[in-house]
């Protein structure tokens, strides 16, 4: 029978409940336990797929095509758990399931109520994961903040589960805020006291408190929180701000959090020791890489909110770790590249990346960045929309199809290089909306991408997009030098493009999202190779300057390269 850990949050949102749950999972795995993680989100949307990145941050996609909360990305990065749609439930999805059952007559004419029908549905969703995955421990994160109306059914459900599972089988961990008041020069515990009071009012007594703060908690503050919140002093854990999220498991371990959890759940025999050596080496490399530095420009349309590209940012960090390099990332709003000095803004970077996105806004700036990268031989990595815009740029500027475009941006374009999924022949079974989840891709012999993937003939990657490359234009673009290095096994979908290494040192576009599968201890090969290419470009630039004794020589070379095709 699995043990349950329920993670709740109080005072304010965005405290890092997802990171806390992921870090607990990491620690328990390091002790030899098998873990599963679930996110329960209180919003009424069925899933976050239709939500704006500015509202909700990144949408994380699992192998089975589920569009889920970004916290599931943290779960997969910090643990070995393989997640699916079963690991993310929202209020909307729970109610939808109950209503569908009611319409079918499953409830035999009963009056459907929040208790017990909604709460039972929540409990069944959690226990279904337990039955299927058979973990030692299931970590269940409740989204939102204690006190919100939306989260009450979820909190009631886990309260019931705590009673049903019994003492020693369920543990409640509450993430709360201990704010620092600069004017008083003090950390204040009252918000934490009130948050725990709210939790206790609905019948949940937290066993462990994770106290988020800017500054360390003193012994006196811990004792005060323990006294007023009715927990042991050793169960008041400081969750102080850290310079890298991958230090969180280590910080928790140093305060004995994993020992406390293992003890309270009676898992000492199954999880006697912890081995965090790999994790310590990871954090040391992130903080002080010995191999050097590479600077990468991310030219996108949601750069104001970094959470929109959470997995992407982490994947670049993983690529740096794989090469023992520091990756200096600069976010550039693509619309800002419409000025005449756009080349000057890009010239100092070792590599350029254009990520995914939806809609026309900012596309012209992305195309300018791609054109610059192609002509100046700056390493380029295009993901999803970044591959599509690379195809458009190549069609316009190399193949002389001046009005080439995507039907997403111009329905009347005479050269629809990119078009909607349903326009491809014989794909009606996909629903004509989005291609989601894991899809296979065959890599061309002798291609750069095949080398990047270690010689693999076929790979599987996760997708999330509505538009595809139009195969009618493939012969022309191939004739002009664009390499279609990855296609679906049936040849219907173009998955990867590149430029020959004779023409460009590293220019790759992929229709899928490799960032979803990158992990800190196992960087995705595309990101590891891209960061390495960026660093090699930096070395080449520095060597050229040293040989010629002119700081501006490489700049002049790049200006010459971009002046004509």
Identified catalytic residue from 384, 391, 441, 510 = 384
Q: How many CB atoms lie within 10 A of CB 258?
A: 23
Respond yes or no: is residue 515 known to be catalytic. Answer: yes
The span from the CA of 324 to the CA of 482, in Å, is 32
Distance between alpha carbon 130 and the CA centroid of its chain, in Å?
24
Strands across the sheet containing 208-213: 88-90, 35-41, 137-142, 3-9, 170-177, 208-213, 236-240
Distance between alpha carbon 220 and the CA centroid of its chain, in Å?
38
Q: Which residue has the tokens 């990268």?
A: 373
Please compute Rg for the chain using Cα positions. 26
Respond yes or no: is residue 384 known to be catalytic. Answer: yes
DSSP string, 357-417: --SSTTHHHHHHHHHHHHHHT--EEEETHHHHHHHHHHHHHTS--TTEEETTT-TT-SEEE
| C-beta of residue 420 within 8 angstroms of C-beta of residue 408 | yes
State the Cα angle at 388 between 407 and 52, rounded to 5°. Answer: 75
Q: Is 157 exposed, middle or buried (0-12, 13-18, 19+ CB in 10 A)?
A: buried
State the Cα angle at 461 between 533 and 299, rounded to 5°. Answer: 45
Secondary structure percentages of the chain, helix, strand, coil, to 5: 45, 20, 35
The span from the CA of 553 to the CA of 190, in Å, is 61
The span from the CA of 486 to the CA of 234, in Å, is 54
- Cβ neighbours for 19, distance < 8 A, ≥ 6 positions apart: 74, 245, 248
Helix axis angle, 310-322 to 525-548, nearest 10°:
60
| C-beta of residue 433 within 8 angstroms of C-beta of residue 466 | yes
**Which of these, 37, 10, 38, 43, lies nearest to 153 by C-alpha position?**
43
Question: Which of helix, strand or coil describes residue 449?
Answer: helix
Q: How many CB atoms lie within 10 A of CB 311?
A: 24
| C-beta of residue 420 within 8 angstroms of C-beta of residue 466 | yes
The span from the CA of 138 to the CA of 129, in Å, is 8
Q: What would the two tokens of residue 101 be?
A: 């059952």
Identified catalytic residue from 76, 121, 468, 515 = 515
Active site residues: 384, 513, 515
């Amino acid at each position: 029978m699995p043990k349950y850990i329920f993670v709740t949050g109080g005072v304010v949102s965005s405290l890092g409940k997802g990171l806390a749950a992921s870090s607990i999972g990491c620690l328990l795995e390091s002790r030899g336990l098998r873990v599963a993680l679930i996110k329960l989100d209180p919003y009424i949307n069925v899933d976050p797929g239709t939500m704006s990145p500015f509202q909700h941050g990144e949408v994380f996609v699992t192998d089975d095509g589920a569009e889920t909360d970004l916290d599931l990305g943290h779960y997969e990065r910090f643990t070995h758990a393989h997640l699916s749609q079963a690991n993310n439930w929202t209020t909307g999805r729970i109610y939808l399931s109950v209503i569908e059952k009611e319409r079918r007559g499953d409830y035999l004419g009963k009056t459907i109520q929040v208790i017990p029908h909604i709460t039972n549905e929540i409990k069944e969703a959690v226990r279904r994961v337990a039955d299927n995955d058979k973990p030692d421990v299931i970590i269940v994160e409740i989204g939102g903040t204690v006190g919100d109306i939306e989260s009450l059914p979820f909190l009631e459900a886990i309260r019931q589960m705590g009673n049903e599972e019994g003492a020693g089988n369920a543990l409640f961990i509450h993430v709360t805020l201990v704010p620092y008041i600069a004017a008083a020069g003090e950390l204040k515990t009252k918000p934490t006291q009130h948050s725990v009071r709210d939790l206790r009012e609905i019948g949940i007594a937290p066993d462990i408190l994770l106290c988020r703060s800017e500054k360390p908690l003193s012994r006196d503050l811990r004792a005060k929180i323990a006294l007023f919140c009715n927990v042991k002093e050793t169960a008041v854990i400081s969750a102080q701000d850290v310079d890298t999220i991958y230090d969180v498991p280590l910080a928790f371990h140093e305060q004995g959090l994993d020992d406390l959890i293992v003890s309270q759940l009676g898992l000492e025999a199954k999880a006697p020791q912890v081995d965090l050596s790999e994790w310590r080496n990871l954090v040391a490399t992130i903080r002080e890489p010995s191999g050097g530095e590479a600077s990468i420009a991310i030219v996108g349309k949601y750069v104001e909110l970094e959470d929109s590209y959470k997995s992407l940012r982490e994947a670049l960090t993983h690529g740096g770790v794989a090469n023992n390099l520091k990756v200096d990332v600069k976010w550039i709003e693509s619309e800002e590249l419409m000025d005449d000095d756009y080349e000057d803004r890009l010239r100092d970077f070792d590599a350029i990346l254009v990520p995914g996105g939806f809609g026309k806004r900012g596309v012209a700036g992305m195309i300018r960045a791609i054109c610059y990268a192609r002509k100046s031989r700056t390493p380029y990595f295009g993901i999803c929309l970044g591959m599509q815009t690379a195809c458009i740029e190549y069609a316009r500027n190399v193949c002389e199809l001046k009005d080439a475009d995507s039907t997403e941006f111009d329905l009347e374009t005479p050269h629809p290089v990119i078009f909607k999924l349903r326009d491809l022949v014989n794909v009606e079974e996909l629903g004509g909306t989005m291609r989601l989840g894991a899809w296979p891709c065959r890599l061309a012999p002798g291609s750069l991408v095949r080398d990047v993937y270690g010689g693999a003939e076929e790979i599987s990657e996760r997708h999330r997009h509505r538009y595809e490359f139009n195969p009618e234009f493939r012969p022309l673009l191939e004739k002009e030098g664009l390499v279609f290095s990855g296609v679906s096994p049936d040849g219907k979908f173009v998955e990867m493009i590149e430029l020959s290494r004779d023409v460009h040192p590293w220019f790759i576009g992929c229709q899928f999202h490799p960032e979803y599968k990158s992990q800190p201890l196992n960087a995705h090969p595309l990101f590891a190779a891209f960061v390495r290419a960026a660093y090699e470009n930096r070395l080449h630039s520095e060597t050229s300057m040293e040989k010629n004794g002119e700081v501006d020589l490489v700049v002049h070379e790049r200006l010459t390269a971009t002046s004509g095709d």
